[in-house]
Every structure is written in structure tokens, then in C-alpha cells.
Amino acid sequence: MTGLVMQQSPHGTLFLWPDHWHVVGRLMPNRPHRHISASWLVGLDGCFRIRVDGHWRMTRAALVAPDVEQSLEPGDTRMWCAQLDPDSRYWRSLCHLLEERSWVEVSHSVEELDSIADMGCAGVHEALLNILQALGERPEPLDDRVQQVCGLLRAELPERIQVASLAASVGLSPSRLSHLFRQQVGVPLRRFLLHLKVNQVLAHWERGKTVSQLALDAGFYDQPHFVRTARDMFDALPSEYVTTGWFNVCRCGLSSSS
């Protein structure tokens, strides 16, 4: 995929917000990978294949928990794929649907979502809010200390997790913070920080910028560290979608409070 050269108009759009992002359009098949975010997946034109828990299923709409290994074969259908940060109200509003499972097929009419492919960022975000209204529940608030740690990590993007320092800042022991964070957010502190750094790369990706510069700007040790992380989370580098022109990128949600 790295050598892909666009010969036609973009296949879709990547929409970015601070705590979630969406891809709407045609996706490439991918091998097993683990998003740190939760995955909301809808086939806009028909069913798609998803592999979770070691088995392939055919479905029209699915919700996958954070940090769960998955593979996608979209076939001929356009997709709406929303990646919801594990500390976001969007995921916490929908997580009740899983009932402790790693994924769930969602029974919801998706025919009216066909037009999402022609929407801008406001329309895509409204579509997500409509899903929350139809399927979501009032999210339980995160523990204030966990919320504070999430905010610190988002603001500072440290090179490494300093658990002792983070724990002291919220009045917890390192072991208690690690346990409480994993219990409430669903992923370890280190994985959460890597997710934030990859999102930072997406937010600043532009044609002409090198992978190594973006990786360093986002706080990765070096380019290989970023490449390994991106392959683990997406089975792809952003360059394989963005710099080739496969996707347009809309960043207007990053400057708005959603």
C-alpha cells in the first residue's frame, strides 16, 4: 500500500476532533490491529466483514471495544468508521451495548445514513449525536482523578509515562492509579498515551512533512517507534491514506468544542 498513487478523486474524508475521529468513504482491507479507541463501524451500501475474537462475521453495523484486535474487509461498500477515544463521552454513552463483550452487532436502521458520505463535519458529528440519542445512555462520569490524568496527558504528551509523578499529582499510589485508570478507561496508561500521540500525528499531517519530523513532534522516541505503533493500531501509516490523496482531511472539528 505504501506505493499507492492516486489516479482519481479521493475515496473519502477523514474528520478530526480532539477526542474522536471519523473516516467516511472507501477503506482498504486491513490485517489484525488494535485501536486504542472504540470502533463504530457502519456499511453505508451494504454489509461488510469484520474479524473479532478470531472469527469473521458479516454485518451492517458493529461496535468494537477499545484495544480489541480486529480486521476489516469492507468489500464494495463505503464505510462510516468512527473512532471514539476511550475516555470520551461518546464511547461511555455506548459501551453499555457490549455488556462486557468485546464487540456487538448493532441492530439499528442504517439506511438513512447513506447520505453521510456527502456531509461535512457538522453533518457527520450530528449523525454521531443521533446515534447516541437512539442507542446511548447517560454516561457515568469518570473518577475525577482519572479525568485529571487524562487531561494532563492530552495537554503535555510526555515522551514517557511517569506513573509515580502522575499518581502523586492526584493523591494516589502508582499501583492504585494504574489499576483505577485501566478499570475506568479500559486501556493501560501507556497505551492511552500512544493513542494520543498518534492522534497528534493525524492532526498535523500534511503533504510534504516527513514521517520522522511528525513522529518527533508528537513525542515518539524516533520514526521506527511511530511506525511500529501505527502498524499495531491501524495496520497502516497515515501516509498510505493521506499523502497519497486517498482521503481528504477535515480538521475543523479540532478548533471547535464538540
Reported as a single tens digit per residue, the pLDDT across 237-257 is: 766 665 666 778 888 888 765
Q: pLDDT at position 217, please?
A: 76
Task: Say yes or no to pLDDT of 113 above 90.
Answer: no
Q: pLDDT at position 243, please?
A: 60
Q: pLDDT at position 103, please?
A: 97
The whole model's pTM is what?
A: 0.89
Task: Say yes or no to pLDDT of 149 above 90.
Answer: yes
Mean pLDDT of 147-173: 95
The three-class DSSP label of residue 43 is: strand
Mean pLDDT of 200-211: 76
Residues 184, 189, 191, CA angle at the centre, nearest 5°? 110
Q: What cell numbers appear for 113 in the block?
A: 445514513
Cell 472469527 identifies what position? 55
How much of the chain, in percent, has pLDDT values that exceed 70? 89
Mean pLDDT of 213-226: 80
Residue 204 confidence class, pLDDT cut points 50, 70, 90: confident
2-39, pLDDT tens digit by residue? 333 334 566 889 899 999 999 999 988 999 999 999 99
Residues 223, 241, 57, CA angle at the centre, nearest 5°? 105
Residue 69 confidence class, pLDDT cut points 50, 70, 90: very high
Q: What cell numbers appear for 86 in the block?
A: 476511550
Mean pLDDT of 95-115: 85
Q: pLDDT at position 252, please?
A: 86
